[in-house]
């Protein structure tokens, strides 16, 4: 109790915070103007009320001056009107400058990655290799109704000075800090995140995989329910990332080799793949979950009626394509289809 009283006298009475100072000064000038106006002007206008005095003080401080109430006596003009105009206008300007400074400071903290966010079911993107790559990922995600544009996005990076304006316009948030530390993950709201994408800081350096493994372990330690997709450079890192708990792993060097060889053997393959992987237009590949056991032929027929081509089945992580023999699709499996839009669950 003694400590509380000591703290109150030392930090509140002797050095009050700025909001308290403004509140006290505004209250004092409103009280002075209201009582002074009523005191001096009541003799000239017997119908004046306290609300009239308060109204006169407010419009005088804000330099509005409607003219519905104005002092007629010398005391009302020089002892009330003049001080309210000079002190009130200055106090109002000081108040607005403090509010503007708070807003600017808050905005600067956000774009420089010093803020914290408490979003839920959002996407967290770790590492910032380039603006173009991040924008392509966000463009593709926003075009799919399953993701949409309403899901908040938070970028976590240790070396980005401030969030680029292109991403600020998209409403993307930024957290600067070591992505492995719990404090950084907490500020990004990883405990309530639905998705996490871990990009390679340097796509040409296999050592980037070591950082991604550490980030994946940190995410799994905080929230195992997060759907984690990680990028790696060295195919040898895939098994380690899988053990770290990543849901999906994309090895860029392995796919680069596939694209190069297939484009050499079958010119035009990259155009087909680009059309299938991009949600911007054309056809896309979709995984449609099956909620009941059914024959593959029956499900394929339903898909054809909806202008979807069935490629195969994904069951327990294994993919079977170009199925010809009679097959029963079990509950929980997914049909792999090509179509112009996502189909609902069967």
Residue range 283-316, pLDDT digits in tens: 788 888 888 888 888 888 888 888 888 888 888 7
Residue 1 scores a pLDDT above 60: no
pLDDT at residue 330 above 80? yes
3-class DSSP state of 287: strand
Q: Does position 7 have pLDDT exceeding 60, yes or no? A: no
32: left (phi over 0), alpha (psi -120 to 50) or beta: alpha
CATH label, 123-255, candidates 1.10.260.40, 3.20.20.80, 3.40.50.720, 3.40.640.10: 3.40.50.720
Q: What pLDDT is attached to residue 135? A: 92
C-alpha 214 chain-centroid distance: 23
Q: 82-111 and 50-61 helices cross at what angle (nearest 10)?
A: 60
Q: Which pLDDT score, from 0 to 100, does residue 155 have?
A: 95
Spell out the domain ranges in the chain: 2-104, 123-255, 283-346
The CA distances from residue 136 to 15, 117, 131, 273, 280, in Å, are: 51, 24, 9, 16, 11
* pLDDT category of residue 268 using cuts at 50, 70 and 90: confident
What pLDDT is recorded for position 154? 95
Share of the chain above pLDDT 70, in %: 94
Q: Which pLDDT band holds residue 329 (cuts at 50, 70, 90)? A: confident
As given in the structure block, the two tokens for residue 237 are 């890192």
Structure tokens of 216?
């994946």
CB atoms within 10 A of CB 34: 21
Alpha-helix residue ranges (DSSP H) falling in 170-268: 182-187, 208-222, 238-243, 252-265
Average pLDDT rounded to a whole number, residues 90-108: 83
192 phi, psi to nearest 5 deg: -120, 15
| Residue predicted with more confidence, 301 or 252 | 301
pLDDT at position 124: 95
Query: Are domains 2-104 and 123-255 of this chain identical in fold?
Result: no
CATH class of the domain defined by 2-104:
mainly alpha
Nearest Cα residue to 29 out of 74, 63, 3, 60 = 60
Q: In this predicted structure, what is the pLDDT of residue 255?
A: 76
- Cα 339 from Cα 52, distance rounded (Å): 70
Task: Supply the DSSP string of 159-190, one letter for each residue.
Answer: S--S--HHHHHTT-EEEES-TTSHHHHHHTTG
More confident residue, 123 or 273: 123
Average pLDDT, the chain: 85
Task: Tell me: pLDDT of 71 over 60.
Answer: yes
| Model pLDDT, residue 157 | 94
pLDDT tens, position by position, 120-173: 889 999 999 999 999 989 988 887 777 767 789 999 999 998 899 999 998 899
pLDDT per position as a tens digit, 45-61 = 888 889 988 998 888 88
> Which pLDDT score, from 0 to 100, does residue 299 have?
86
**pLDDT recorded at residue 199:** 94
User: Which pLDDT does position 5 carry in this prediction?
Assistant: 54
């Amino acid at each position: 109790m003694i400590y509380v009283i000591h703290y109150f006298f030392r930090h509140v009475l002797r050095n009050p915070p700025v909001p308290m100072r403004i509140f006290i000064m505004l209250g004092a000038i409103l009280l002075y103007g209201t009582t002074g106006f009523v005191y001096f002007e009541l003799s000239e206008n017997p119908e004046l009320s306290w609300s009239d005095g308060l109204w006169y003080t407010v419009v005088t401080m804000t330099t509005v001056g409607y003219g519905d109430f104005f002092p007629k006596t010398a005391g009302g003009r020089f002892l009330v009107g003049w001080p309210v105009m000079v002190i009130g206008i200055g106090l109002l300007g000081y108040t607005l400058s403090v509010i503007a400074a708070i807003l600017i400071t808050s905005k600067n903290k956000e774009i420089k990655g010093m803020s914290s966010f408490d979003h839920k079911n959002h996407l967290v993107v770790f590492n910032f290799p380039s603006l173009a790559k991040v924008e392509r990922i966000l463009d593709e995600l926003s075009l799919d109704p399953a993701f949409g544009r309403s899901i908040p996005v938070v970028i976590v990076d240790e070396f980005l000075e401030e969030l680029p304006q292109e991403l600020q316009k998209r409403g993307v948030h930024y957290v600067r800090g070591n992505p492995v530390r719990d404090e950084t993950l907490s500020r990004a709201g990883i405990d309530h995140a639905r998705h996490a994408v871990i990009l390679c800081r340097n796509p040409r350096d296999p050592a980037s995989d070591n950082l991604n493994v550490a980030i994946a372990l940190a995410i799994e330690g905080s929230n195992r329910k997060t759907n984690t997709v990680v990028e790696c450079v060295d195919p040898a890192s895939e098994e380690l990332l899988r053990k770290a708990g990543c849901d999906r792993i994309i090895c860029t060097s392995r796919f680069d080799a596939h694209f190069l060889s297939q484009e050499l053997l079958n010119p035009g393959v990259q155009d087909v793949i680009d059309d299938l992987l991009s949600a911007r237009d054309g056809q896309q590949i979709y995984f449609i979950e099956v909620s009941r056991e059914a024959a593959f032929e029956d499900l394929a027929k339903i898909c054809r009626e909806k202008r979807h081509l069935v490629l195969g089945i994904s069951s327990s992580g294994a993919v079977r394509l170009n199925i010809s023999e009679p097959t029963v699709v079990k509950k929980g499996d997914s049909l792999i289809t090509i179509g112009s839009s996502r189909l609902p669950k069967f």
